[in-house]
Amino acid sequence: MKESAGTTQGLWQLLLPHKPNKSAFVYLTLLVIGATALELVLPLYSSYLVDSIGDDGIETLIIIGLIAIVLTTAVLEAILGWYGGKIGHSISLRLRYSLIGKLLHSQSQSMDQEHSAELSARVINDSKEVKSVLAEDLIGLLSGLISLIAVITIMFILDWRLTLVLLSCVLVGFIIITPIALLMNNIGQEQQTAEANLLKYITEWLRYGKLIKSHNGAKQMQEQSKELLDNSFTHEMRATKVMSLIGPIANLVLMISMIAILAFSAFWLKQGTLTLGTVTAFLLYLFGLTFPLMSMAMFFSNLNKAAGAASRLSEIDKFEKEPIGSDTQVGDITSLSVRNLNFLRNDKEILKGINYEFEGHGLSVLIGESGSGKSTFLSQFLGFFPDTFGHVFINNKPLSAYNLLSIRQAIAWVDQEPKLLHATVYENLTLGLSDNIDSNRILTVLKSVGLNAWLSRIDNNLDLVVSEQAHQFSGGEKQRFAIARAILRQSKVLLLDEPTSALDDVNKNELMVLLRRLSKKMRVIIISHHLDLIQPSDDIIEMTAGEIVPKLV
């Protein structure tokens, strides 16, 4: 997937649909103003305390007031940190939910060239960069801006000369830091890409661990990981170098500002045009400016990183969403047909002008060499390819005339290698079903497809978690399990891709008996290379090079 350069505008466009309501921003602003106001009062109060020291010391009420201001400020800042973090995390939650939904509802063609782990990395890792800016840095920016404006205003009122000295130092620091912070844009984007690439390969290696070990490929994969890790390390170090410069520069500006203020203060104190209380307030304000300036610098630095991450997240928005179609639901299916069906994938013609109709119930067997287009042909009925909706018909109406969800409820698909989720047996079997299914009914269906021995092995435990690594199924059991899942959907049509490929002769025959029994009430269409399982009464369709071979009369 081609990635575009990240921009701040792209980041805001990404976040705009997920912004909180106005009241949340009002509460946040009030908290920021309250906390900042107390922070600004503290130096003025301290100045008053210094100037009020007399022969009898300091009045008790003044000390109590100082303690009250300090404690109230701490409590308000804690509430501000919690509430601001809540807003940021809430925006991130809605963003991630939207991105996951976008991926789950995107057209199959949009995602065919993408690696699932790389897309997962975008949703999790890239959105984390965005969340960091919202939940942590945004508050610093708001309070920093208010503090900066208010502090400079108060300083100017206290002594305009010292204020000009301070502003001159701050301006120099800003000029130095800004170009460095802008470097984080491309660095952040490249860093996220490197980490996503690393996650993509590690996920694949762990999934196919036995394949890699059986081919003595573990060392080769580990050496390949070194290259990926080095690439990630390089980008991380680039980001670290930039971040390591911002802190020292800000501290240097602070030290120069303090030295300059002390030098000029000593001169004006000697002249009698400045009081010690004013100098004390100025120094406290100077230290008070350190956090706002650092927060603002960190915000703009991380903002550029987040903008780079947002450009990767925005690519997901370019995936085309599946068309849901009309509100018309699929009822009984009396016929399935394709008319002049052509299908291209990567500019290669897979299906060529196919015309065929399946009428009523019965068993159809699709045969042909590997690569002849059999699986692609059957998958057309599930609505994966909107471009062909006008050539695929249910009850003589095109797919576009029906609700897509109802089509997939009516037509069940059993893949050659059935996919099982990391979830319980019950959750796998009831995938996509809104109604609760009685456990006894599930057990009955499982037994009807010949999984009695498997049920005994798991002690009828429908809460058992099916794990990718545990392998609770043999190949044949997994096929039967997938068929049970299709039966529970009460579908009208059952499509199976090589359902007997992982079975021995005994299990092949038993499965065919089951499918023939099902075909008396529904249309069952299977892809098979085992011609010995075919009976004369079966509907046989032969495909070659993307075309259906005409039947001999």
* pLDDT value, residue 184: 65
Question: 451 and 524 share a domain?
Answer: yes
CATH number for the domain that contains residue 282: 1.20.1560.10
The per-residue DSSP string of 377-411 comes to HHHGGGT--GGGGGGEEETTEEGGGSBHHHHHHHE
Q: Which of 264, 283, 317 is the last residue of a domain?
A: 317
C-alpha 421: how far from chain center: 18
CA 474 to chain centre: 33
324 occurs within a structural domain: no
| 70 located within any domain | yes
Tokens of residue 196, six digits: 């996503």
The residues pairing with 307 across neighbouring beta strands, listed in sequence order, are: none
Nearest to 86 by CA among 170, 12, 24: 24
Instruction: Report the 3 state secondary structure along 292-324.
Output: HHHHHHHHHHHHHHHHHHHHHHHHHHCCCECCC
491 and 446 co-located in one domain: yes
Domain boundary among 317, 350, 369: 317
462 with 538, same domain: the answer is yes
Q: Based on the fold, state whether residues 354 and 308 are members of the same structural domain.
A: no
Is 394 within a domain?
yes
Token code pair at residue 271: 């002249």
Contact between 158 and 281 under an 8 Å Cβ cutoff? The reply is: yes
Q: Is residue 468 part of a domain?
A: yes
Report DSSP state, residue 226. H
Clarify whether residues 412 and 280 are in a common domain.
no
Please give the pLDDT value at position 3: 44
In order along its 553 residues, the chain shows pLDDT tens digits of: 444 445 677 777 777 788 878 888 888 888 888 887 787 777 777 767 776 776 666 677 877 887 888 888 888 888 888 888 888 888 888 888 888 888 888 887 777 777 777 788 778 777 777 777 776 676 667 766 777 777 777 778 878 888 888 778 777 777 777 777 666 666 766 777 787 778 778 877 877 776 677 667 778 888 888 888 888 888 888 878 877 777 777 777 777 877 887 888 888 888 888 888 788 777 777 776 666 666 666 676 677 677 777 777 787 877 888 888 888 999 899 999 999 999 988 778 899 999 999 998 999 999 988 888 999 999 999 998 888 999 999 999 999 999 998 998 899 998 877 888 888 899 889 988 877 889 999 999 999 888 888 999 889 999 998 876 555 777 678 888 888 988 888 889 999 988 877 677 887 888 888 889 889 989 999 998 878 888 888 899 999 988 888 764 4
- Domain end, chosen from 284, 317, 350, is at 317
Q: Is residue 293 assigned to a domain?
A: yes
Give residue 525's pLDDT.
94
Evaluate whether residue 23 is within a structural domain: yes
Q: Distances in Å between the alpha carbon of 97 and those of 18, 48, 101, 103, 307?
A: 10, 53, 6, 10, 19
Question: Domain check: are 392 and 469 in the same one?
Answer: yes
Domain co-membership, 111 together with 218 = yes
Same domain? For 190 and 264 the reply is yes
Is there a single domain that holds both residue 383 and residue 409? yes
- Name the 3-class secondary structure at 461: coil
> What CA dihedral angle connects 313, 314, 319 and 325, to 10 degrees?
110
Cα–Cα distance list, 207 to 112, 121, 200, 202, 213 (Å): 19, 16, 11, 9, 12
Residues 295 and 379 in one domain: no
Domain that holds residue 86: 8-317
Residues 28 and 99 in one domain: yes
CATH number at residue 498: 3.40.50.300
Instruction: Give the pair of three-digit tokens for residue 235.
Output: 């980008």
Total domains, the chain: 2
329 in a structural domain: no
Answer whether residue 36 is part of any domain: yes
- Residues 304, 348, single domain; the answer is no
Distance between start and end Cα atoms, the chain: 50
Question: What's the CA gap between 149 and 474, in Å, rounded?
Answer: 70
